[in-house]
Amino acid sequence: MEKTHRVATAIVFGAVLTLLAPILALQLDYLRYHWRLAPSDTHGDKAMVVSAHGLASEIGRDVLAAGGNAFDAAVAVNFALAVVYQQAGNIGGGGFIVYRLADGTNGALDFREKAPLAARRDMYLDADGNVIKNASLRGHLAVGVPGTVAGMVVAHEKFGSMVWADLLTPAIKLARDGFVLSHKGARMFNRYQSDFSELNIHTPNVLKARGWQAGDTARFPMLAETLTRIAKNGRNGFYKGPTAQMIVAEMGSGGGLITQADLDAYRPVWRAPIRFSYRGHEVISMPPPSSGGVALAQLLKGAEPYQVGRMGHNSAAHIHMMVELERRAYADRASYLGDPDFVDVPVDRLVSNAYVKARMASIDPWQKTDSTEIREGHVDRIESVETTHVSIVDPAGNAVAMTTTLNGNFGSKVVVRGAGFFLNNEMDDFAIKLDYANQFGLLGNSQNAVAPGKRMLSSMTPTIVTKDGDLRLVVGTPGGATIITSVFQTIMNVVDFGMSAQQSVNARKAHSQWQPDMVMLERGTLSVPTQIGLMRRGHRLYAWPRFKYELGRVEAVLIGVDGGREGAADYTRGEDDRASGF
């Protein structure tokens, strides 16, 4: 009898532990994060550069120390990242810049990739109208016309103060002489060795028979030669001559569409930024073809009626409020946004106070809204992503927020033979079929359909915040669909919760995007009471592992009341990310 009782007790105890294990693990993560000693901000009285790699940040700092301005530093950092951070730093991709000059003048530069002239709307569908697996993600057909080099050239022509070639010299030296590979750098190269082998007809020098090891000296002589041509000839060093010929030959060898006509036709576009106010701050962000500025305006305007600071950071009420706002903003993204050079994008209406108020009026503080009431649709998946962001403030007070990308890690995984750089897979950012989700689980319609020469919709959200006419915050992040929500939370962390730069960056993040219909959470975000509070409101919770290394890695510069620069690199998630100032 006693033995039977012990067995029954053990069974019950085991069942209870099984039920409680996920909750206990979640609480342990929460306590581990909140007990951990947070790193301090990097301070500089005069200037600050924050990027995804310490070597690139140091190069930007040295440019500023030598008398260059924020745009000079942005050029130098971008080309350095193309060497030391090849999964996202690039010359074969594209991006956006939001800037603010010391006198208050602001603007935006769009050097987003474009669809090749031979692209067609249904190019990724088979004869039955079904999506061809991976055609928009892997290999030559996934590549959009690169814009990064053209973007750097026009930014330097308009605002640069140093000699163009001098800004590329550090990157050329890194590629030619080599640099010590970090643990993350080795891990990333090793993760995609099979893809590099499968998707390249030649043998790129990122392939290594025995794999890469932390501490290896990585040298890229062909990339050094490509950068040297760009240093000598500017735009023509990439879009014409030997490099252009190599790109066209690479496309031809693998069934890609980019021709010399595509390279000749590519031009960046200067655009007026999205500007709006939030609790006495002016926010300046990226307009379409980025969805970032429009969505950020909807989110912050939607949050303004709430007493966010009294909710408690990452409380159930706080996360529920953010999620409900986000689900509506992302539904609008899918319905209305695209390349404004091709389709009518109702920006003014979407960011108007009246529209946002009406759009958010159905939010119930105690109950999740059913997604079908927001807009019909269904998505099951979100995959990987790689983008990189740079925040810069120079001694004069000029600020640059620059986000660049190849889309997925190492883009299409295709390396241009003889030129040594990766090409993007940005074509997947189009809506390749009505309401078919891209790799980030984002939906779209005809507004973002493939068309020759069209720019694909993006989530990149380089942003600058001012208060009373003074620079306050420069911020941005990688992370695909999570870019917008990470910038949203970082701004609230500073404005509503009074966090320092590093605190706002380190704070655990939550994300929702309407579809998939769930709340994606970083480990360490939730206490047990918060988890229960969200579940009682009807939310489905998912601890998303991608947050750890690939998403939510904010790079920020916060300007203190004394004018000092507080740099915050997200090295709790990114490992190599660093701030460097003086």
C-alpha–C-alpha distance, residues 137 and 229, integer Å:
29
Using CB atoms within 10 A of its CB, is residue 488 exposed (0-12), middle (13-18) or buried (19+)? buried
Q: Which of 482, 499, 497, 498 is nearest to 573 (CA)?
A: 482
Bridge-based pairing state of the strands 519-521 and 42-44: unpaired
Residue 390 pairs in a beta bridge with 402
Continuous segment of H or E residues that includes residue 400 = strand 399-407
C-alpha distances in Å from residue 343, one per residue of 105, 374, 454, 457: 28, 23, 10, 12
C-alpha–C-alpha distance, residues 514 and 503, integer Å:
28
Residue 572: active-site member: no
Using CB atoms within 10 A of its CB, is residue 480 exposed (0-12), middle (13-18) or buried (19+)? buried
C-alpha distances in Å from residue 42, one per residue of 240, 565, 568, 579: 41, 8, 6, 6
C-alpha–C-alpha distance, residues 359 and 346, integer Å:
15
Residue 404 pairs in a beta bridge with 95, 388
C-alpha–C-alpha distance, residues 167 and 68, integer Å:
9
Residue pair 111/232 in contact by the 8 Å Cβ criterion: no
C-alpha–C-alpha distance, residues 396 and 574, integer Å:
29
Catalytic residue among 42, 387, 388, 530: 387
Task: Note the helical H segments in 216-279.
Answer: 221-233, 236-239, 241-254, 260-265
Q: ∠ CA 342-92-101 to the nearest 5 degrees? A: 70
C-alpha–C-alpha distance, residues 331 and 349, integer Å:
15
Phi, psi dihedrals of residue 145, rounded to the nearest 5°: -65, 120
C-alpha–C-alpha distance, residues 4 and 242, integer Å:
82
Q: Which of 464, 462, 470 is nearest to 564 (CA)?
A: 470
DSSP summary character for residue 182: P
Active site residues: 387
